[in-house]
């Protein structure tokens, strides 16, 4: 199971936090001239670090003065409410029970950053995410935020990310080098494209220096040892690749 660390909030001057800021900058400039407000961050397979990435990305975007909504659309394995120590009343309540979405959005304690938790685990997540009501919620929330960052389940095991990908402005896929085969990554990308996704780029996690030739922009940071919280050191090696 992925252990999520909000290093960008706890140690904003660390090299790891700087890596997240680099990703923020690349995303912001990846779609110049077109609206880029709703963004999915997902992965090909489980436990690659997508929830860690999106929560820290939300923090650095908020730190830059942008009003950010972090939306947990992983109704199968919700994590963001636990990270921010909030209740899990949220998205599924709004879609299936028609509760007012602004009533369940929660403040995270970080300036400019709010959370829409996933809500109780639903029996039919793909249908909820693909519903007209979900589309209406996104349109309703857009005027209130500069960015809406959306955490979804991984691409390969279930269809949730693909179903939602055609309803947002862009998508970033995280791939864990050495853990996901090139064939699996390619298949995940193909599923997204078939669903109408606008892929902004790929973040390649846990990559070795020797493997970086020919992949465009590459940002290397060593391990960042953090004290407290019971977490081991976080190692980040990022690439952002345009499609």
Asked if residue 188 belongs to a domain, the reply is: yes
Q: Whole-angstrom distance between the N-terminal and C-terminal Cα of the chain?
A: 29
| CATH number (domain holding residue 214) | 3.40.50.300
CA angle 80, 225, 216 (to 5 degrees): 75
Asked if residue 53 belongs to a domain, the reply is: yes
pLDDT value of position 178: 78
pLDDT value of position 213: 42
**189 φ, ψ (degrees, to nearest 5):** -60, -45
Per-residue tens of pLDDT for the chain, all 243 residues: 555 567 777 777 777 788 888 889 888 887 777 889 999 999 999 988 899 899 999 999 999 999 999 999 999 999 999 999 999 999 999 998 778 999 999 999 999 999 999 999 888 999 999 999 999 999 999 999 999 999 999 999 999 999 999 999 999 999 887 788 889 989 999 999 999 999 988 888 766 544 444 333 333 333 333 333 332 233 344 445 544
Asked if residue 140 belongs to a domain, the reply is: yes
Asked if residue 183 belongs to a domain, the reply is: yes
pLDDT value of position 182: 87
pLDDT value of position 234: 34
Asked whether the beta carbons of 72 and 81 are under 8 A apart, the reply is yes
Q: Are strands 147-151 and 68-72 parallel, antiparallel or unpaired?
A: parallel
Domain residue limits at 103: 7-239
Asked if residue 74 belongs to a domain, the reply is: yes
pLDDT value of position 3: 53
pLDDT value of position 104: 95
pLDDT value of position 26: 86
Query: Could you give the CA distance from residue 1 to residue 105 in angstroms, rounded to a whole number?
Result: 26
pLDDT value of position 19: 82
Asked whether the beta carbons of 175 and 168 are under 8 A apart, the reply is no
Asked if residue 2 belongs to a domain, the reply is: no
- Residues sharing a CB contact under 8 Å with residue 190, sequence separation 6 or more, in sequence order: none
Number of domains in the chain: 1
Other Cβ atoms less than 10 A from the Cβ of 204: the count is: 22
Asked if residue 85 belongs to a domain, the reply is: yes
pLDDT value of position 14: 76
Asked if residue 1 belongs to a domain, the reply is: no
């Amino acid at each position: 199971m992925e252990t999520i660390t909000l290093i960008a909030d706890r140690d904003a001057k660390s090299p790891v936090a700087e890596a997240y800021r680099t990703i923020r900058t690349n995303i912001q400039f990846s779609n110049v001239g077109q609206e880029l407000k709703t963004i999915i961050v997902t992965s090909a397979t489980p436990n690659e670090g997508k929830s860690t990435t999106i929560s820290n990305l939300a923090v650095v975007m908020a730190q830059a003065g942008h009003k950010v909504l972090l939306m947990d659309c992983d109704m199968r394995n919700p994590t963001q409410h636990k990270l921010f120590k909030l209740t899990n009343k949220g998205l599924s309540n709004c879609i299936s029970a028609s509760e007012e979405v602004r009533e369940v959005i929660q403040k995270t304690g970080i300036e400019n950053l709010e959370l829409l938790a996933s809500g109780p685990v639903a029996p039919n997540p793909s249908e909820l995410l693909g519903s007209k009501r979900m589309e209406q919620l996104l349109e309703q929330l857009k005027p209130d935020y500069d960015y809406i960052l959306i955490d979804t389940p991984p691409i390969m095991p279930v269809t949730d990310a693909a179903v939602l990908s055609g309803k947002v402005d862009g998508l970033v896929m995280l791939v864990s080098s050495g853990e996901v085969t090139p064939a699996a990554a390619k298949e995940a990308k193909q599923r997204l494209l078939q669903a109408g996704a606008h892929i902004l780029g790929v973040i390649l996690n846990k990559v070795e220096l020797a493997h970086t030739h020919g992949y465009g922009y590459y940002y290397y940071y060593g391990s960042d040892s953090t004290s407290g919280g019971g977490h081991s050191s976080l190692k980040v090696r990022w690439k952002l690749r345009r499609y």
